[in-house]
Amino acid sequence: MKLTLHVWRQKNAGARGGLVRYEVPNANEHMSFLEMLDVLNEALIEKGEDPIAFDHDCREGICGMCGFMINGKAHGGFKGTTVCQLHMRHFKDGDVIYLEPWRAKAFPVVKDLVVDRGSFDRIIAAGGFITAPTGGAQDANTIAVPKQAADLAMDAAACIGCGACVAACPNAAAALFVGAKISHLGHLPQGQAERDRRALAMVRQMNVEGFANCTNIGECEAVCPKQIPLEVIARTNGDYLKAAVGAGPEGAAGGTG
Ligand code: SF4
Ligand code: FES
């Protein structure tokens, strides 16, 4: 299969970027999208050119490292699919494909298709954790968790932190990501002690990082490879408002939008 790619090339964060056209004459339907890029990169290296930088690690949809826009859609816009799980059988001979990095102020471009998602790490560091001692593995069943709460927590915990929700959102909001983390921990008994503090701290950090507010457009849910539902944003709003009322004006800096 012969493809034409237009790939965003940008040497570093401060450089001016632009789309560069490449021909891929030897792609086939059994390759993953990243393998197709590997083949292109090998050809570029053989010619003495700089290979295209893109993030990846597990290549099986669980680590959250991969992700860029394919023809204007985060991860390519295929339901429940990360870029690394996307196969070339979804494309056809002669296709023209545009690849661009996530576009958001809080995700500055590092190089080509790689962006810095350290803002997500700082949001987690602000409150996405528990401090309750949970013991060793053998103690896991000593605190009973109701089935429904366990299911909701597990569904939210599926978030891999890829950032597609931010890239797809016209506001570049991080509400789905933050909502997933708040729901994951907030549904569990071990997450209750810091629940108010967590909501205040994570929302505050989200605003500090430059993510804009959620206006319920829903693009995030549509592109999320882990199909995190919009309900997690309602959970953030509920937890945040309850905590902010309790904390008074000092505790409620910013808002969830
Ligand atoms: S909510 Fe979905 S799209 Fe957003 S970071 Fe998590 S897995 Fe990625
Ligand atoms: S490389 Fe790990 S999720 Fe894609």
Average pLDDT along the chain: 95
Check residue 250 and give its pLDDT.
58
Check residue 160 and give its pLDDT.
98
Is 26 among the domain residues? yes
The band of 252, judged by pLDDT with boundaries at 50, 70 and 90, is low
53-57, 85-89, 134-138, 214-218: lowest mean pLDDT where? 134-138
Among 113, 217, 146, 118, which residue's Cα sits nearest to residue 175?
A: 217
User: Bridge-partner residues for 6, per DSSP?
Assistant: 21, 98
pLDDT in tens, 132-169: 888 888 887 888 899 999 999 999 999 999 999 999 99
Do 210 and 106 lie in one domain? The reply is no
**Region 18-43 average pLDDT:** 97
How far apart (Å, rounded) are the C-alpha atoms in residues 77 and 237? 27
Check residue 101 and give its pLDDT.
98
CB-based contact 228:179 (threshold 8 Å) = yes
Q: Is 76 in the pocket of ligand 2 (CB under 6 A)?
A: no
Give the count of beta carbons closer than 10 Å to the beta carbon of residue 203. 30
> Which comes out higher in pLDDT, residue 188 or 139?
188
Is 247 among the domain residues? yes
CB-based contact 80:37 (threshold 8 Å) = no
Check residue 256 and give its pLDDT.
64
Q: Is 66 in the pocket of ligand 2 (CB under 6 A)?
A: yes
Check residue 135 and give its pLDDT.
84
Among 58, 61, 53, which residue's Cα sits nearest to residue 37?
A: 53
Do 242 and 157 lie in one domain? The reply is yes
Check residue 138 and give its pLDDT.
85
pTM score: 0.94
Is 210 among the domain residues? yes
User: Bridge-partner residues for 3, per DSSP?
Assistant: 24
**CA 19–ligand 2 middle distance (angstroms):** 24
Which region, left, alpha or beta, applies to residue 165 given φ > 0 means left and ψ of -120 to 50 means alpha?
A: alpha
Ligand lying closest to the C-alpha of residue 67: 2
pLDDT in tens, 102-122: 999 999 999 999 999 999 999
Q: Which residue has the tokens 């528990």?
A: 130
Do 222 and 140 lie in one domain? The reply is yes
Check residue 247 and give its pLDDT.
77
User: Bridge-partner residues for 19, per DSSP?
Assistant: 8
Out of 58, 78, 111, a domain closes at 111
The band of 3, judged by pLDDT with boundaries at 50, 70 and 90, is very high
Do 134 and 221 lie in one domain? The reply is yes
**Region 77-94 average pLDDT:** 97
Q: Is 32 in the pocket of ligand 2 (CB under 6 A)?
A: no
Out of 60, 91, 111, a domain closes at 111
Do 71 and 158 lie in one domain? The reply is no
The band of 5, judged by pLDDT with boundaries at 50, 70 and 90, is very high
The band of 12, judged by pLDDT with boundaries at 50, 70 and 90, is very high
69, 75, 124, 159: residue to mutate for ligand 1 pocket, most atoms within 8 A of CB: 159
CB-based contact 24:44 (threshold 8 Å) = no
Check residue 140 and give its pLDDT.
78
Give the count of beta carbons closer than 10 Å to the beta carbon of residue 121. 12
Q: Examine the pLDDT at 253 and tell me if it is beyond 60.
A: no
Q: Is 226 in the pocket of ligand 1 (CB under 6 A)?
A: yes
**Which DSSP state fits 214?**
-
CA distances for 8 relative to 39, 46, 50, 73, angstroms: 17, 20, 13, 14
**CA 46–ligand 1 middle distance (angstroms):** 36
Check residue 246 and give its pLDDT.
81
**CA 119–ligand 1 middle distance (angstroms):** 14
Q: Domain range holding 91?
A: 3-111
**CA 196–ligand 2 middle distance (angstroms):** 32
Do 107 and 125 lie in one domain? The reply is no
Do 195 and 86 lie in one domain? The reply is no
Out of 56, 83, 111, a domain closes at 111
**Region 55-72 average pLDDT:** 98
Ligand lying closest to the C-alpha of residue 117: 1
Long-range contacts from 58-67, C-beta under 8 angstroms, 24+ separation: 58/84, 59/32, 59/34, 59/84, 60/84, 60/85, 61/85, 61/160, 61/225, 62/160, 63/160, 64/160, 64/161, 64/162, 64/163, 65/162, 66/34, 66/162, 67/102, 67/162, 67/163, 67/164, 67/167
Is 257 among the domain residues? no
70, 82, 102, 224: residue to mutate for ligand 2 pocket, most atoms within 8 A of CB: 82
**Region 181-186 average pLDDT:** 97
